[in-house]
Amino acid sequence: MENLVEIKDVSFAYEVRPVLKGINMVVPRGKVVSIMGLSGCGKTTLLRLIGGSLKPTRGEVRVAGRATHELNQEELYAMRRKMGMLFQFGALFTDMSTFDNVAFQMREHTDLPESMIRDLTLMKLDAVGLRGAQHLMPSELSGGMARRVALARAVALDPMLIMYDEPFAGLDPISLSVIGDLIRHLNDALGATSIVVTHDVQESLKIVDYVYFMSEGVVVTHGTSEDIRNSKAPFVHQFVWGEMDGPVPFHYSGAGIAQELGLGSSHA
């Protein structure tokens, strides 16, 4: 199967602080792939490298066979028009209506007549169940509704690649399930490819085809949803099942409580 995204031996550092260390990943066309791990492990940095807003310190990131860091500005913008992005918490334009938020990319990047933009925008909103909310402002939307509008905006130009940065953050259980189902459904309906960066293990494992687990800038394991659920790797097992005890400690490193309280062994 052809890979849409290929990440080969990629390292990246912010000045002297290493973030990614020799990452290798592939994202096959038509699949939904999740990148999981604790905050600060480099997940969002990977999305920025794929989108071309950052360049790797070493290695290469290829999208549709082209190295994003080798593209000039015009080529990079053309590539980005084939990508959709759902930002954490939606990031809707607060002074635009639901309709105008979704229509924005069509107006900005195409020469389509307004009548066609109207029809396409209503179709995208209908796909996420919010055609009836087209006139509402972002401040009038619930968190789940705002996320669905952001999803409609992300797929407005029928992108070949859709990237999701924490799409489930802050959602109630019903909205969370709806967004998960929409990610899977829209990916398959559009013939797109999706990358989902998330902390929400159980919901994402229901919808993704493959998972990469990251920790401290490296891939610690990868596999299908079933592989991840059954993993015996201590870090992965702790993360998937939300356990207190494991490689990620409950207590932040420091002196013992007896020492902090000035208690000697005679007081034990």
pLDDT digits (tens, 9 = 90+) for 134-180: 999 999 998 888 988 999 998 888 899 999 988 887 788 888 888 88
- Identify the pLDDT of residue 267: 47
Quick check: 228 and 211 in contact, CB under 8 A?
yes
- Closest-CA residue to 183 (of 174, 193, 171, 173): 193
- Closest-CA residue to 197 (of 87, 93, 91): 87
Across 89-108, average pLDDT: 87
The radius of gyration computed from the CA coordinates of the chain, to the nearest angstrom, equals 21
Task: State whether residue 266 is helix, strand or coil.
Answer: helix
Buried/exposed 42-70: b ≥16 CB within 10 Å, e otherwise: bbbbbbebbbbebebeebbbbbbeebbbe
**Confidence (pTM):** 0.82
Identify which has the larger pLDDT, 260 or 127: 127
CATH of segment(s) 3-247: 3.40.50.300
What's the CA gap between 48 and 257, in Å, rounded? Answer: 42
Residues making up the chain, counted from first to last: 268
Buried/exposed 103-141: b ≥16 CB within 10 Å, e otherwise: bbbbeeeeeeeeeebeebbeebbebbebbebbebebeeb
What's the CA gap between 4 and 26, in Å, rounded? Answer: 8
Element (H, E) at 59: strand 58-63
Rounded (10°) angle between helices 114-127 and 173-190: 130
61: which 2 tokens?
Answer: 């990131």
228: confidence class by pLDDT, cuts 50, 70, 90: confident
Q: Show me where the domains of the chain are located.
A: 3-247
Across 124-138, average pLDDT: 90
- Identify the pLDDT of residue 16: 77
Local structure of residue 198 (DSSP, 8 states): E
pLDDT digits (tens, 9 = 90+) for 62-88: 999 999 988 988 999 889 888 988 887
Q: With 80 as the cut, is the pLDDT of residue 246 above it? A: no
